[in-house]
Amino acid sequence: MGEAVQHRALPGTPGGRPVPMRDEQSSAFWDAAARHVLAVAKCTKCGQATLPPDVTCPHCLTTEPEFTFEPVSGRGHIRSWTIIRRSFLQGFDLPFVLVDVELADVPGLRMIARLLDGPAAKLSLGLAVTAAFEDLTADCSVPAFRLESAA
């Protein structure tokens, strides 16, 4: 037997749900989310929005992108969804719904997040949703969605 593997303790809620870790590039996104504002990254070179920001801009292909985060309404519509019945991450009540949402303010921009209406919600393609936020800690809220019909 070799030496025990040292696992770095990741931040989590008391229930064990992982808390996202900020980095330099994502910090403004999480600052906005903590205020319950959904923000998308915009490339300062071409002005196109992307989620999440990456090491290259998917629109103008610059390898030195500089992204700024701009708030959006959070409204959108469901393009697809799936129900998660098993999770390799702790701290989630199962089952839960993940939705693929196209944001109304940025046609073509898609975001995948939890739908907070629960697995019994009646879903269909094109259904209107709006951003909602799960407050994991005092300074970390995770964007999710809620059906507009239920809001």
Question: Whole-number minimum distance, CB 54 to Zn ion, in Å?
Answer: 10
Task: Give residue 77's Cα distance to chain centre.
Answer: 15
Q: Are β-strands 96-103 and 75-84 bridged in parallel, bridged antiparallel, or unpaired?
A: antiparallel
Question: Whole-number minimum distance, CB 41 to Zn ion, in Å?
Answer: 10
Neighbours of 110 (CB within 10 A): 14
Q: Which residues bind Zn ion (CB under 5 A)?
A: 43, 45-46, 57, 59-60
Q: Give, rounded to a whole angstrom, the gap between the first and last alpha carbons of the chain.
A: 55
Nearer to Zn ion, 65 or 76 (CB): 65
Nearer to Zn ion, 59 or 77 (CB): 59
Nearer to Zn ion, 60 or 94 (CB): 60
Question: Whole-number minimum distance, CB 33 to Zn ion, in Å?
Answer: 23
Neighbours of 73 (CB within 10 A): 13
Question: Whole-number minimum distance, CB 97 to Zn ion, in Å?
Answer: 32
Nearer to Zn ion, 106 or 147 (CB): 106
C-beta separation of 142 from 33 below 8 A: yes
